[in-house]
Amino acid sequence: MKIMQNAKYLMHRLPPCFVAVLALGLFAGCKSEQSSSKMASAPSAATVAPAAASVPAPVAPPVRIKAGQATPYTDSEGNVWLPDQGFADGDTTDRSEDLQIANTKDPALYRTEHYSMTSFSYPVPNGKYIVKLHFAETFDGISGPGDRVFSFNVGGQDFKDFDVWVKAGGANRAYIETVNVVVTGGKLDITFTPKVENPEINGIEILPAS
């Protein structure tokens, strides 16, 4: 306030040309203070920059996934199976707890399944693996050979016209397809292609090759 009073006094006492110069100087000073205030309140780029998306880290095998299961499962040998995951699409189902499954010590593994899927992917470090695919034909709508036929590709290896009934020797019988795989892209990829009915699977193991 004292500065403004002094400025008014000088404006009455000084000649007009000096008054104009003084007014311009006061105006420039106000603009400079406003600019400094705006710069101080502006957020920095680091404050508003979005966080970078995280990429899932490869999981070191062994990895066991029980298809169609919503909770972890422990088999007869003490191995823990992860709940259903890694499938791009499809659906899941489970059978009665008293359904008998032959050719296995772990019938519960084959009472849940993931079906109608087109692909499966799971991140693992590059290297050599043994992949075990677990199957059993437990759907009562399948009554014989040829009722369910599909193909799948495991890490670049094709399995054409796969029939669970034929491979297992009938319904409600466990069958394991073992595949040696070399992973180079940081993940194991499996694709499924239907031919008759939908593809189905009960479990997937990704084990380190010795």
Domain boundaries, the chain: 2-44, 63-208
CA gap 136, 202 in Å, rounded: 7
* Confidence (pLDDT) at 10: 41
Instruction: Determine if the pTM surpasses 0.85.
Output: no
3-class SS of residue 81: strand
- Three-class SS state of 29: helix
Tokens 């992949």 belong to residue: 131
* Grouped pLDDT means (10 residues each) for the chain, 210 residues: 44 42 38 43 45 64 96 98 98 97 98 98 97 98 98 98 98 98 97 98 95
Helices (H), the chain: 2-13, 16-41, 45-48, 164-168
Q: Tell me the β-bridge partners of 70.
A: none
Burial grade of 136 (CB within 10 A; 0-12, 13-18, 19 or more) = buried
Q: What is the pLDDT of residue 61?
A: 86
pLDDT at 35: 43
The reported pLDDT for the residue numbered 60 is 80
| Predicted local distance difference test score (pLDDT) of residue 14 | 44
Fold of 63-208: Jelly Rolls (2.60.120)
172: Cβ contacts below 8 Å, ≥ 6 apart: 99, 100, 101, 102, 136, 137, 138
Q: Do residues 170 and 100 touch, judged by C-beta distance below 8 A?
A: no
Where does the chain show beta strands of DSSP type E?
63-66, 73-74, 80-81, 91-94, 112-115, 119-123, 127-135, 149-154, 157-162, 175-183, 187-196, 200-201, 203-208
Note whether 81 and 109 are within 8 A (CB). Answer: yes
**pLDDT on residue 29:** 44
Query: What is the sign, positive or negative, of the torsion defined by CA atoms of 15, 21, 25, 27?
Result: positive
Q: What's the CA gap between 108 and 65, in Å, rounded?
A: 13
Contacts 24+ apart (CB under 8 A), 37-46: none
pLDDT given at position 40: 43
